[in-house]
Amino acid sequence: MDLGFCINEEAIKSHIKSCEGKHIQQIAYSSFHDALTQVCFTCNCVRTTLKREDVEEKTNINSS
């Protein structure tokens, strides 16, 4: 699954609109990061307004 970083919520929302009704998608909102994330299983893609640093910091749990 591809990970795409979007600049703002509007960009995510336009992706959500274009997938809506045609694709299997999930939308997640993080109040902590104030970030919107779209997971589209049909596009096989995750699109988020999270910053790359936020994602890598959280997923890089093996390095201390």
Asked if residue 46 binds Zn ion (CB under 5 A), the reply is no
Asked if residue 13 binds Zn ion (CB under 5 A), the reply is no
Asked if residue 19 binds Zn ion (CB under 5 A), the reply is yes
Which amino acid belongs to residue 33?
H
Cα–Cα distance, 52 to 20 (Å, whole number): 25
Residue 2 CB coordination number (10 Å): 9
What DSSP element (H or E) covers 44?
none
Phi, psi for residue 52 in degrees, rounded to 5: -55, -40
* Part in contact with Zn ion (CB under 5 A); list of ranges 2-10, 11-19, 26-34, 51-59: 11-19
* Part in contact with Zn ion (CB under 5 A); list of ranges 3-11, 20-28, 29-37, 53-61: 20-28
Q: Where on the chain is the footprint of Zn ion (CB under 5 A)?
A: 19, 23, 40, 42-43
